[in-house]
Each structure stands twice: as C-alpha cells, then as structure tokens.
Structure 1
C-alpha cells in the first residue's frame, strides 16, 4: 500500500467499521495494545468512541518532537466535532497496509494528510448523524452537531456520540469524497494553539521515549563497531567480557558492507546496561584493514581544491551563455564557500528494544521511517515482513537521523541470538561517531553584474561526493535552486570524489547547506553592487511569477518569497541605525514547499559573538494547524541552525571520526540562544510542513549579520573563532 491512502481515503481502508465490545465505534485505526480498555477489540481504525463519549484518536506519523502527534489528530477532531479536551491521542503501530506513508521526514505530514484526515473525522460524524436520523426517523439533513452531540433542532432532541456509537457502527460508511468539510471560519480546534500531547508525561518524567522501554525479562546490549566504517573484526578474545559480573553473553556479528544495515561488530548482552558497557570496555578488538582508512577531512579539502581548478565532471544546468555574459559584465565577483560534515546529535541516543521468538519479531523503536526498518530487519533475519510488529515510540529528537534504522537491525539481530527481549542503547560517543552525516561541500561561485548592479550571470562549480553520475546520499544539489531560472545566464557545474563514510538526511537535507552558500554569496553581490541587501534581493526576485511548472515541488513563486522578505524586513525594522559593532543580516530560502526569510541582529565585541534577536517570516500556506507547535518548529529550526553554524563540524582522520561528544561537537546552549520572533504570512496555498524550511536561511542571515557588524566575510562553516 502506497502513501496515497490518506490523501484519497477510501471506504475499504479509511472507514472499515465494527462494533467494539461495550458498544463502542472504531473506525480506521489500529490501537496499541497498552492503549485499549478492557474488552476493546483491535480493528483497522483511526477513531474509537466509547459508550461514555470518550474519544480516542490515533496519530499515524512517528513523533520526534515535531508536534505531529498533536497536529494530525486535531484535523480529525475538528471535522468529527468534539471538544479537544475530550480527546486522548495514542500512537498507531507501524502498518503501511492500513496507514500508507508513516514517515516523519521532509516536512510532508501536514501537506499529505491535511485533507485526508479531515475526511476521516467528517466520515465518523456522518455515521453518527445517520444513526441519529434512523433512531428519530428524521432526515439526516435536518440534524447538526455540537461538540460530541447530535442535535435535532426541530424537536430539540439531543444524543451524545457515546449513545449513538453502537448504532453508527452498523451503518455503511459514506464515500469520504462526497463529504463537505468545514469552512475554515468555523474551525474551533484547527488554528488554535494546543500543547503537546506528551507534555505532561515529559515534564513529570513518565516513561515516554524509546530509551524508557521496559519489558519483563529484558536484557541489555551494547554493540561495538569499528572506528573505520565497515571494517570487520579481525580477532577478539570474548572471555574478558564474559567474565564481567552481569554479562550473559558476548559474540561476534559478521555484519556486511551495507552502511544502511548492520555493520560488523561485537555484541555484549547483560542484565543491566552498565554491565553490558563494562563488558564492552573489557574487550580488545582488532579490526581488519579497510580502504576507507585512507580518507580524512584534510584529504577531502585538498582534493576539493584540486577539482575546483579543473574542468567540472558534469554540467547539470546551463542556461544562456554564462561565459559571454561574464566577459561583458561591468563587474565580476568570485568567492569560494564551504561547509563541513555534521552529525545529528539528538539528545536521546539511538536505541531499540526487540523480541524475537517463535518466528515472530516485535520491535519498540523511536524511528522516523518504520517501514524501511521493517525491510532491513526482514532481510537480516530472513523472515517475512509480515512477521514483524513495530511499535512507534516517541524519539528524543530525530532531525533525520532516525530515518536510518541501523540501530533497529542491530537490536533485532542481537535479540535473535538470545532467548530474551533485548534493549540496545548506544553511547553518546557511538551516536556521534556512527552517524549518517550531512555531507561536506565546496562551492566556487562567479557572478557578473551589469552597470546598474543587476545580476547578469551566475555560475557555481560544486564539489561534492559521489561516483560517476551518482551522488552520495544528500550530497547532490537540485539545479533549480534560486537564482536558477531567474538569471538568464546560469550554469551549475559539479565534480565528485569518492566517500566511504555514511551520509544521510539532516534537517532540510541539502538546503541546510545551500541556503548558506547561495544567500551568503547573494549578500556579497549586493554589497558589490552598492545596494541594500533587502532591496537587492527584491530586484533579483523581480515581479511576482512562478518559476518552473505549476504543482511541482521545485517550482518557485517569487511573489511568495518577496512577501516573507518584506515581512521580515518590517518585523526587524530593517534599515534602522544600530550601534557600532552591531549588524543586521538577512537571508531567504525556499525548501519543503515553504518560503522563509530570516533577519538576525548580532553584536561582536573583541571577537565574541552575541546574538541579540532573530526575526523569521514564514509562508506555509493558508492554514496553520497548531500555532503553538508551528511557532516552536520555526524557533527550533532557527536555533538548531545557529548552533550548527557557530560550532559544529565533524573531523575525520584515518577513516574514523575524531569528535566524540558535546565537548567537541557542541550544541547551542540556552544562555547563548537569542529570542526568535515568528510571524506567519498566510497565502492561498495548501498548508505545508514546518520542521525544516526555517533552517536553510538562518546560517546565511547569521554570517551576513556578522559581516554587517565587523566587515569580515565568513565563507566557511563553522564560524568558530574566525572573528577572534
């Protein structure tokens, strides 16, 4: 079953109904076992109505702090017409045959589910109205609803949803496409701020995250992998580990060469995690030689410089005649930008609990992409995917790291070797040193300006990782990135070099780097043209129009970008006089169907950076589902990006990561975090997600602010001590 199921709900999958024990109504929602009242029946459903009127709604998408466990059920509750305070939300299990796409990534959940989940709620409401109409022998169109109640105005009769649930369960569901959804002006839940569904549990320390999972008879595991990615175990004496008190077993796992699955290593299983770790520390593992050991950060930088001077391997976009336009330009500007590998570094390290018995596999995992994990586990254990049950547990941050399920496969493979459930927990060091990193990259720009200061030519020789015409994961760049299609003479060249390290998706993949380099260089062009940076961007955007094909994700609406740019300028008081040593920087970027402009005010004194304030203007369509959650997502993206820009960069030597913990891979601290003011500019477009679009423009706005404050242009991240 593909991801279309909830964009286009059908009777078969969205509205399969049946009477629950006790007269309840269950619709399109597989509940977790621990969430069911005694006597409830597990069926294919999204909504459960109890006889007493209590409402339980499932959230299908994994929750990793992005607030989707609150936002998606709000869509159902709105059209169902219930009080939000009467709703309990539970996490659905992973089952693509029922739910379609269950991925927390790409900021796509709101985009894909906004219409479909509203129709789920409307369908349940329609069934309840049908049940009341039959009970009272009145036309269905003479009935209306109030929160949790069906009303017949003519006779003033009223019936609660709980009273009608058993009768409604016997009816044939309507075609969801035939239903009329609420006018947004009538919304009572959507568009109002609601706290996170897990907030109380989080703040009281209740078991909430994957790392909190406890099962009867559970053992704990550590898994030692080679510092050099993919290297096999050459030799190891397991006796010292087995001699540690509490250790139950230690064994070699052969693994393979697929960086997405299980690597070679040594597992230690014990009756406590501490004992498992002590057993791991007792091992002296000799690792086999591996070709990746010849790779290093210094080597990559040297190779990138070499490739930048040579003809590009390929040209991905070539509009107009760039060389002729540069030759005829009144002024040319060249600059080289770079950014490092970075790790995800979520607060909760990777973990997974697995039980393998009688040919069945049961998994409890904080994963962003459960079906991909199911496929990997099925292959590793040689079992049918249908034999695997995956419980979705809240993740303590994801940022794209939990789209990869290597830790899930490790837990399942280890559990298959012992006669007990096993919880695998990585250390912080393992989490940073065995990540799927945001790739490093090098951009070599040249642009031409005419006598009026307008951009007449733009070219970028991008050096990245890959082989032939294949990029490493997240290492490629879309050739339609603005200002492509807005500058008549535009060329995007690329050269690649091989990489043995695992790479992957990090918040706003690709865009998290491209926003920095493109908007940083754009700022240079503004100053070279002698123009205000906001005014210069307005000129580059030009008249409101769509660049690209309507309906395609890479189309670019210059009017929407101009709208957020103007709003951010207004919010920040752009153009006002600021003290010496203080500067305002601006940047704007489109990604994940969202348009964001960011202004940062920064002060630099004796090389020390203080961020005074950030303003973010966002266009993510016509409707904000949960304003509180939306604001938090933008603020989180901005602060995440600031921390990465200021401090973060992975260093590799001899094929292995040097960084190991927050001491040498710092996060932004609360004391250094600036206030972030967020405003949304509504537009007549479908609602889109907010987990990522505010990240890409932020690093550029920061370095542009630092230039305004100091006159020093930063072209390489992290910023570190470059202003000292």
Structure 2
C-alpha cells in the first residue's frame, strides 16, 4: 500500500499512543487506533513499515499490535449501506464485533479489489455483496485461522482446541486468552494458506450475517461529521465555479474576463474551450465572477438537435432488424398462426441522475504527481484516464476517495474529474471545481432514450405462443465496456428482456444500437432493466387483458417452470390483498422481474383523480435475493430504490431543444415531494440461494406495477414514461 501516507493530522480528546490517524479518505478521522471507540473508525491508510508487527494476511485486513482492526473497503459508500454489509461479511468469519472494525478506502487496484462480477474495481450493478460474499468471508477466515495458529504456538497446544471470539483467541478451557493485537506480530510471520483451503462457516452458524445490524456510518452522518467530496478543504485551496458549453461539442466564443476579475475575491479565469471556470477565494465570489463573465457560446455542430429529431431517428432505426439477443422457436410463423395478435410501441425518455451532492472534484496538479479528492464509483478508470490526460505514470495519480452523496451510476464516469484536472493545469495549488445544480442536470450523462416494438400471438385460451421484442437505443456498454459487446449486442440493453421470467415457446428479441447526436448516455440506477421491466411487464398485462384473465392468475400460468419468480409473485399478491374491492378510479397493478441476481414482485395501489393526477398510495414488494446480509439495509434499499424509480415514472423527463437540455433544476426536473410518497412494504423470502443484488431491483420494477394499476383504475393503457396525466382525465 505504498504511497498512501496520511497527509494531515487531526487531534481530538482521544488519547494517542503512537500517532493520530487522519483524513486520508475524506472521512473525518481524529480517532486513535489505540483507543476504545463507541463507533467505527474510518481510518487513514497505514504503511506496513510504519507500525511494526502489522498483520496483513490479504488485501482486506490490517490488524496492528494495538488491536486495531481495519477493513480495506473495496467498494464505495453512496448511501446503499455497503460499508455495513461488507463489514459484516468480514466480521462474521474473523469473529469480531462489527463495531471493532475500522474502514479505509481501498486504493485503485484491479488486482486486489476488482468486483468479480463487473471485472474491474467498480461500485455498481447491484454487485457488491454478490462479488465479495465469498472473498471477504475467506479473508476473515484466513485471518482467524492464522491468529488461532499464533496463539496455539505460544501456548504449545493443538490449534483445533482453540477458538476465536470477540477479537481474541481462547484455549480449550477458556482460562487463557490473547487478543488479536497481542497476536498480530506473531501471526504476521506465519505462512498464509490459500483462501480456498480455509473452511467457511455454515449458514446455520452465522451470528451476524442475516441479522438486523446498525449501520456503521449512521452516527457520523447524523452528527454532521461525515465528509463528502464536496466538503474537502486543503491549505491554500481555491474554489472554481464552472460553466460548460450548453451544447455538446460547442465551445466558448467570448468571455468577459475583465468583468469577472473585477469581482472581489476572483483570482483568475480559465477558458478551456468546452468550459470556462472562474477561480476565486470562495464559492460566492466564483459564482459572481462566472455570472459577470457573460459567456457567449459557439454551439458547434449539434446546435439544432431536438427531442423530436431524436425520437424520429429512433423510430426509423427501430424498423430495422437488430443484433439477436434470443431466438427460440419460430416467432414469425407462430405469430401468423395465432388466434389473436397484440402489437405495441413503448418509449422511455432520457433521465438525469440529480444526486443530492452535485458533481465536484478537488485537484492539484504538480510536475510529478496529480492528487485528486473526489467521490468516485470507479477509481481505477478515473486514475487511468487522468494519467492519459496528464502524461504522468499511473502510480503518480493519487485518488483520495470519499463518501458519495448519491451516485446512481453518475459517478461511474470520470468526466467531472477530467474537467477539474484540465482546470487545475492553470491553477497554482489545489482547486475545488463545483458544478451548480443547473450545470449538473444540463451536463449529465443520461439514461438512454429507448424505443421498443413488441408483438405477441395468443392461442384460443389466451396463452402466448409468440413473443417478439425489438429494443432501439444507445449502447452504454459499447462505450464503457467495449469487449462486452459482441456482434452488435449490448447485454445490458437487453437485460430482463432477453430472459423474461415467463414460459414463451417462440420468442425473438433483438437490439438496434442508435446513437443520437448531441447526447451523452451512461449508467443510471440500472439501465437495461429499468426500461425493459417496464415494457415487458406492461405488455404482459396487455396480454392478460386481451385474454380476459386476471393479471396475477395469467402470470402464474406462465411461471410454473420458475418457482422463485412464482413465489415472489404469490407473496406480493397475498400481502397486498390482491382481489379485494377498491373504490372507483382506484386500482392495483403487479409486476415481476428477475434482474441483478434477485427475484422481485411489486403490487402498486393507485388513485387517479378526475383531473388525471396520479396518487400512488401503497407499494408492496416481495424480494428473493437469496441469502441476505442485513435485512435493515434491504428494506432501506427497497424503499429508496422504489421512490427513485417512482420519481422517474411520475416526473422524470430530459428533453432537448436547439441542442440544449430544457430542464435545469428541481423546479422542472422534479423529485417526488413528501406528500406524494406512498407506504412501501418489504417482504423477504428466506432461502439458501447465492446472494443477489438489491440496489437497482426496486427501481426497475415499480414503474410497471404503477402503470398496470393505472390501467386497472381507468381502463387506459399508457405506453410511455413519465405517465401522461392529461390522457387520464375523466370525461364524465
């Protein structure tokens, strides 16, 4: 872990015996590793030669002679609770209470900290628990076995007669005890066994995994001590407000630099073409200086792009055959012979992320190194792209990662960091670049616009005998992970469409890549499934209606081969009181999905007023995510993810006119208000299956459940998002 020295020292009233550990990760430190603490420590990196006898059997564990236990956290916390869940995995096998574990952000290192599901060091895809379920438990088990071996050697007994508990090793009688700190130096000298050779606990023996556990980061967030990227402070640091070309591909034409510099506190104006930054002593001066600069832009080649143009392009391209994602049976023949045919076109819009913490990055560029303080979901990608930009060697790019105030995929992209480094080239000393809310929304990398064509054939009993689904939209994967795209097929764009949970004897799914001009697209809180589940589950409801069957009963008839999907469907329907009477213009709708390794079903209850306004009153969610770590975290994720998806379904819409994004802040890119928020209930299915992902699953499933409930309430079928309330007005 060379090159990760703590840079600043902070002291508090806690006794320090050797040194204080401070802010290496952007989280408030001020705890000493030697002192007892009532809350977890977010520790600074430790060089192995700084403290003799440090026990570091693998990339995840550090135990020093004072007894401090540090988990080198491979993933980043952005509100999803991963610091707690991954700490629980390590603590379970290491046999320590979770409140004895301190956390340290991992440095960029694919070899040690790659997410095995994604293939790189990356927090996303609802993959953190899935990827580290085994490695972190193995890390803890290896550490525990070595500590037991060290104690047994000191006592001259068989290691099999010793046991570990609460951060100490005991002999068979329980009369002899050595803490992990006392054993660290001796354990560090023992050969490390292969992780695969170490026996892990059976689920029946878990004492921590599966239990409701207090989040390790709650206290510092409640008392305001948690530090995010935007909170970074450095000696001599300047603040930069930034204006980015409003049209992709444009550049600044004129800048009133003199007027900007006349603002008190403004130090310089940096024009890098695609953006202009005003650098000042504080944010207020920087913003005033930016306004005074009165920038006039050259729009470049995309100044005429409009939403209508983009939709027209998608519509035309969607008429062409695409890369085949699935082709079972003979769909064309089955459609021709079907007793009934149903056709539909579905559309979903561009969506912004609108995280509560707007984009920001602090950078300091020197001749021989570049230091970056930022919250990023992809530290290695960020590091490599900055190295390419600056020409510095990769190990000269120091990423100081932070807590993230909302990621949702936005901070998988390094564009904000690249922009900050370009500005830092012109600034002497560190500079923090902060995007305004308007810059953040109008220069996002958006969830793609998708245009879907579907056709289904039903037999005399209403059962589907043919299913055709064509997806047209831009490919995030082709840009971000090119090797994953084979023969033109983006696997993310077709997720939850190529493998719907239902038995469909003849199914054809293909994908047409369409890249609209003037728009940057990227990951959202789920990409493919957030549109495909809406489309597939809304269309299945259309088929149930065409077959004159109850939507739940219709789905059950297609899920006999899929017991886990059937189980979540049945549980959600039961808990929601499916079939119970509702008042006029009230309705229930259901949806089912398999995505991110988890099965889920939601029932939504809605009320549609005479003026067409929609009130979602209740959401009932059944989840089968296999073995789960912390039920509290899952419930929080279901609530948060559901509301994120519901916000998009009710309000989410990014549109373009004259190459510009028309929305700018929360007045016209609306988040849900508190009076709109429904009750969200979560029901977990317990089983011994491998863990699945949770963070994005409820976001993907909710829009279809609400859409189907709207149809049940009004008899009107909506095929695009956000929901068009004008079409729902009562004619009576």
The bucket for the TM-score relative to the shorter chain is 0.7 to 0.9
Q: Is the deviation greater in 712-721 or in 495-504?
A: 495-504
- The answer as to 2:420 corresponding to 1:422 is no
Given that residues 149 and 161 in structure 1 are in contact (C-alpha distance below 8 angstroms), is that contact kept between their aligned partners in structure 2?
yes
Q: Who is 1:96 aligned against?
A: 110
Q: Who is 2:447 aligned against?
A: 438
Q: Who is 1:575 aligned against?
A: 579
> What is the distance in 2 between the residues matched to 1:318 and 1:86?
53
Give 1:153 shift. 2.0
Corresponding residue SS for 1:694? helix
1:696/1:463 Cα in 2 relative to 1: closer, same or farther (>3 Å)? same
> What is the distance in 1 between the residues matched to 2:298 and 2:471?
34
Given that residues 496 and 595 in structure 2 are in contact (C-alpha distance below 8 angstroms), is that contact kept between their aligned partners in structure 1?
no
> What is the distance in 2 between the residues matched to 1:268 and 1:472?
43
Q: Who is 2:337 aligned against?
A: 328
1:130-188: per-residue Cα shift (whole Å, max 9, x none)? 12111111111111122122111247222222322232223222322221111222222
> What are the equivalent positions in structure 2 for 1:583-602 lying under 5 Å apart?
583-602=587-606
Correspondence for 1:105 among 121, 124, 134 = 124
Q: Is the deviation greater in 458-467 or in 626-635?
A: 458-467
Corresponding residue SS for 1:695? helix
Q: Who is 2:5 aligned against?
A: none
> What is the distance in 2 between the residues matched to 1:166 and 1:23?
17
Corresponding residue SS for 1:336? strand
Q: Who is 1:412 aligned against?
A: 421
Q: Who is 1:260 aligned against?
A: none
> What is the distance in 2 between the residues matched to 1:71 and 1:217?
38
Given that residues 220 and 272 in structure 1 are in contact (C-alpha distance below 8 angstroms), is that contact kept between their aligned partners in structure 2?
yes
1:169/1:36 Cα in 2 relative to 1: closer, same or farther (>3 Å)? farther
Give 1:36 shift. 7.9
1:624-671: per-residue Cα shift (whole Å, max 9, x none)? 111111111111111111110001111101111000001111111222
Regions of 4+ moved over 6 Å: 21-24, 29-33, 466-475
1:206-249: per-residue Cα shift (whole Å, max 9, x none)? 24211111111111112221110121233334222222211111
1:662/1:290 Cα in 2 relative to 1: closer, same or farther (>3 Å)? same
1:470/1:363 Cα in 2 relative to 1: closer, same or farther (>3 Å)? farther
- The answer as to 2:393 corresponding to 1:376 is no
Q: RMSD in angstroms over aligned alpha carbons?
A: 2.8
Correspondence for 2:506 among 489, 497, 500 = 489
Q: Who is 2:526 aligned against?
A: 508
1:471/1:685 Cα in 2 relative to 1: closer, same or farther (>3 Å)? same
Given that residues 35 and 90 in structure 1 are in contact (C-alpha distance below 8 angstroms), is that contact kept between their aligned partners in structure 2?
no
Given that residues 193 and 628 in structure 1 are in contact (C-alpha distance below 8 angstroms), is that contact kept between their aligned partners in structure 2?
yes
1:508-551: per-residue Cα shift (whole Å, max 9, x none)? 1111011111110110100110111111112223x32xxxxxxx
Correspondence for 1:190 among 209, 219, 222 = 209
TM-score relative to the length of structure 1 = 0.88
Correspondence for 2:546 among 521, 524, 528 = 528
> What is the distance in 2 between the residues matched to 1:534 and 1:612?
20
> What is the distance in 1 between the residues matched to 2:314 and 2:193?
60
Corresponding residue SS for 2:654? coil
Given that residues 325 and 498 in structure 2 are in contact (C-alpha distance below 8 angstroms), is that contact kept between their aligned partners in structure 1?
no
User: Which consecutive residues of structure 2, in runs of 5 or more, have no partner in the other structure?
Assistant: 2-15, 35-44, 49-55, 116-120, 479-484
Residue correspondences, number: 676
Given that residues 326 and 510 in structure 2 are in contact (C-alpha distance below 8 angstroms), is that contact kept between their aligned partners in structure 1?
yes
> What is the distance in 2 between the residues matched to 1:410 and 1:317?
40
> What is the distance in 2 between the residues matched to 1:169 and 1:318?
55
> What are the equivalent positions in structure 2 for 1:179-578 lying under 5 Å apart?
179-254=198-273, 264-307=274-317, 310-312=319-321, 316-465=325-474, 476-478=493-495, 481-483=498-500, 486-500=503-517, 501-541=519-559, 543-544=560-561, 558-578=562-582
Q: Who is 2:154 aligned against?
A: 135
Given that residues 344 and 401 in structure 1 are in contact (C-alpha distance below 8 angstroms), is that contact kept between their aligned partners in structure 2?
yes
Q: Who is 2:101 aligned against?
A: 87
User: Which consecutive residues of structure 1, in runs of 5 or more, have no partner in the other structure?
Assistant: 2-20, 255-263, 545-557
> What is the distance in 2 between the residues matched to 1:173 and 1:462?
50
Q: Who is 1:69 aligned against?
A: 83
> What is the distance in 1 between the residues matched to 2:145 and 2:102?
21
Q: Who is 1:548 aligned against?
A: none
> What is the distance in 1 between the residues matched to 2:259 and 2:486?
48
Corresponding residue SS for 1:133? helix
Corresponding residue SS for 1:195? coil
1:470/1:670 Cα in 2 relative to 1: closer, same or farther (>3 Å)? farther
> What is the distance in 1 between the residues matched to 2:226 and 2:87?
22
Correspondence for 1:159 among 142, 167, 178 = 178
> What is the distance in 2 between the residues matched to 1:280 and 1:181?
58
1:720/1:366 Cα in 2 relative to 1: closer, same or farther (>3 Å)? farther
1:35/1:131 Cα in 2 relative to 1: closer, same or farther (>3 Å)? farther
> What is the distance in 2 between the residues matched to 1:159 and 1:502?
57
1:389/1:534 Cα in 2 relative to 1: closer, same or farther (>3 Å)? same
Q: Who is 1:612 aligned against?
A: 617
> What is the distance in 2 between the residues matched to 1:394 and 1:30?
8
> What is the distance in 1 between the residues matched to 2:336 and 2:110?
56
Given that residues 649 and 723 in structure 2 are in contact (C-alpha distance below 8 angstroms), is that contact kept between their aligned partners in structure 1?
yes
- The answer as to 2:662 corresponding to 1:658 is yes
Given that residues 30 and 93 in structure 1 are in contact (C-alpha distance below 8 angstroms), is that contact kept between their aligned partners in structure 2?
no
1:71-108: per-residue Cα shift (whole Å, max 9, x none)? 11111111111122333333333333443343111111
1:601-635: per-residue Cα shift (whole Å, max 9, x none)? 112222232222111111111x2111111111111
Give 1:498 shift. 3.8
Q: Who is 1:47 aligned against?
A: 61
> What are the equivalent positions in structure 2 for 1:15-34 lying under 5 Å apart?
none
> What is the distance in 2 between the residues matched to 1:457 and 1:68?
42
1:303/1:169 Cα in 2 relative to 1: closer, same or farther (>3 Å)? closer
> What is the distance in 2 between the residues matched to 1:494 and 1:161?
55
Given that residues 489 and 511 in structure 2 are in contact (C-alpha distance below 8 angstroms), is that contact kept between their aligned partners in structure 1?
no
